[in-house]
Amino acid sequence: MKNCLREKRTARGLSQGELAERMDVSRQTINAVEADKYDPSLPLAYKLAAFFGVPAETLFFNPFG
């Protein structure tokens, strides 16, 4: 699922590892989500959205509409 996670993360000055620690996931998971290689679970998507203070659909682009 395409997203703007990388832009949001770098705007906060966070590395993938730092964001991963805060989300309690692996750095590889953050990398895969950013690169659109893996769709995050719904809880992780909402957790990321809450962390950046944006709605989930702002962070992840709906591929169906």
- Cβ proximity to another protein, 4 vs 27, nearer residue: 27
Torsion of CA 55, 49, 8, 57, to 10 degrees: -40
Q: Which residues are CB-neighbours of 22 under 8 A, at least 6 positions away?
A: 14, 51
- Cβ proximity to another protein, 28 vs 65, nearer residue: 28
CB of 19 to another protein, least distance (A): 11
Could you list the residues that contact another protein (CB under 8 A)? Answer: 17, 20-21, 24-29, 32, 38, 40-41, 43-44
- Cβ proximity to another protein, 26 vs 58, nearer residue: 26
